[in-house]
């Protein structure tokens, strides 16, 4: 019996250390995640031509850019990445319009010229306000909307595609969930932007694009999102593409992937009763 007690004591010390370490990890994640996750101060505060402001749910303002294209079948509703804003993205958004799409994009709370403080809940709330603007003011139905999320923007993009059924969902350089970018496996009882677990609820076609050399959100995240998405789905994997140069490395294949995916979504809409 003394030997058994001594054994439990020896075992209890490392278990206590592990338990305390895990507790500190949980506390640290709770208190520090939003401060480290969101980087609005690195984004431009410049107002692109045509910038609009709509009311945010908290009474503040949401900066929004609408680029009409009368000949477009689809409107791309674009959700940008971290450390970027409409002021940074204007050339890219114009290039989407030039490819034959109408475009709507907005800045998250605290980014660009939007007021507020970023958080997962605040980003979802502002996205719902933009969705109301799309549907009620611009008269763009869900069935003619391609939701496109890049990097951090994959989070609200998946959530919005889960809440309604758009023509299609595009995920570019997005993560399976926030903490798993760092931990790889699920170690905590909670997470942020749990895209992988939400994707099975998305009923529209999905296009996943990811660079195989992505050093910020590893390629395995793109593979996990692809595996979680239902058919019909498409993928564009780019060897040599990093996190911030995916479009440049993809070149013409980027536009081709969007065009082919748009045609797939249009064909499904045409086949619907």
Q: How many domains does the chain have?
A: 1
Query: One of 88, 107, 191, 214 is an active-site residue; which one?
Result: 214
Residue 151 annotated to the active site: yes
Q: In the β-sheet with 233-238, what is the strand arrangement from edge to edge?
A: 52-55, 61-67, 102-106, 75-79, 145-150, 168-172, 206-211, 233-238
Q: How many other C-beta atoms lie within 10 A of the C-beta of residue 125?
A: 17
Q: What was the pLDDT predicted at 143?
A: 97
Q: What is the Cα gyration radius of the chain? A: 21
CATH number at residue 129: 3.40.50.1820
- Give me the percent of the chain exceeding a pLDDT of 70: 83
12 band by pLDDT with thresholds 50, 70 and 90: low
Considering only residues 21 and 120, tell me which one the structure prediction assigns the higher pLDDT: 120
Q: What was the pLDDT predicted at 14?
A: 54
Query: One of 95, 119, 243, 245 is an active-site residue; which one?
Result: 243
CA gap 202, 9 in Å, rounded = 50
Query: One of 151, 173, 177, 262 is an active-site residue; which one?
Result: 151
Is residue 263 predicted with pLDDT exceeding 60?
yes
Helix (H, G, I), strand (E, B) or coil at 192: coil
Residue 243 annotated to the active site: yes
Query: What is the reported pTM?
Result: 0.86
Q: What was the pLDDT predicted at 273?
A: 34
Is residue 58 predicted with pLDDT exceeding 90?
yes
User: Across the chain, what does the average pLDDT equal?
Assistant: 88
19 band by pLDDT with thresholds 50, 70 and 90: very low
Q: Which domain holds residue 224?
A: 2-271
pLDDT tens-digit readout, 245-255: 999 999 999 99
174 band by pLDDT with thresholds 50, 70 and 90: very high
Q: What was the pLDDT predicted at 180?
A: 79
181 band by pLDDT with thresholds 50, 70 and 90: confident
Is residue 15 predicted with pLDDT exceeding 50?
no
Q: What was the pLDDT predicted at 201?
A: 97
17 band by pLDDT with thresholds 50, 70 and 90: very low
Q: What was the pLDDT predicted at 197?
A: 96
Residue 270: is it exposed, middle or buried by C-beta count within 10 angstroms (0-12/13-18/19+)? exposed
Is residue 23 predicted with pLDDT exceeding 80?
no
- Dihedral sign from CA coordinates of 248, 252, 253, 258: positive
Q: What was the pLDDT predicted at 10?
A: 53
Q: What was the pLDDT predicted at 272?
A: 43
Residue 214 annotated to the active site: yes
Rounded mean pLDDT, 51-71: 97
Phi and psi angles of residue 168, each rounded to the nearest 5 degrees, phi first: -170, 165
Phi and psi angles of residue 78, each rounded to the nearest 5 degrees, phi first: -100, 130
pLDDT tens-digit readout, 95-141: 999 999 999 999 999 999 999 999 999 999 999 999 999 999 999 99
Q: What was the pLDDT predicted at 25?
A: 41
Q: What was the pLDDT predicted at 7?
A: 54
Helix (H, G, I), strand (E, B) or coil at 178: coil
Q: Which residues contact 219 (CB under 8 A, 6 or more apart)?
A: 210, 211, 212, 213, 237
Q: What was the pLDDT predicted at 13?
A: 52
Residue 273: is it exposed, middle or buried by C-beta count within 10 angstroms (0-12/13-18/19+)? exposed
Q: Enter the tokens of residue 206.
A: 């999905």
């Amino acid at each position: 019996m003394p030997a058994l007690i001594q054994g439990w004591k020896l075992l209890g010390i490392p278990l206590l250390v592990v338990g305390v370490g895990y507790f500190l990890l949980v506390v640290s994640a709770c208190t520090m995640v939003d401060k480290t996750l969101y980087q609005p101060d690195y984004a431009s505060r410049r107002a692109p031509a045509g910038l609009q402001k709509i009311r945010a749910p908290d009474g503040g303002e949401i900066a929004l850019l609408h680029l009409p294209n009368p000949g477009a079948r689809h409107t791309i509703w674009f959700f940008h990445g971290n450390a970027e804003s409409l002021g940074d993205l204007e050339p890219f958004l114009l290039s989407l319009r030039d490819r034959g799409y109408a475009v709507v994009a907005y800045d998250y709370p605290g980014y660009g010229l939007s007021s507020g403080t970023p958080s997962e809940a605040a980003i979802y709330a502002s996205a719902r306000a933009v969705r109301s603007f799309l549907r009620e003011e611009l008269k763009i139905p869900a069935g003619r909307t391609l939701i496109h999320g890049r990097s951090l923007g994959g989070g609200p993009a998946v959530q919005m595609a889960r809440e309604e059924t758009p023509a299609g969902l595009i995920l570019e350089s997005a993560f399976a969930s926030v903490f798993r970018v760092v931990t790889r496996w699920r170690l905590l009882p909670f997470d942020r932007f749990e895209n992988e677990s939400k994707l099975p609820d998305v009923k529209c076609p999905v296009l996943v694009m990811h660079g195989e050399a992505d050093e910020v959100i590893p390629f395995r995240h793109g593979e996990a999102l692809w595996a979680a998405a239902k058919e019909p789905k498409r993928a564009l994997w780019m060897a040599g593409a990093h996190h911030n140069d995916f479009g440049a490395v993809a070149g013409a294949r980027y536009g081709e992937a969007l065009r082919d995916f748009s045609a797939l979504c249009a064909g499904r809409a045409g086949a619907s009763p």
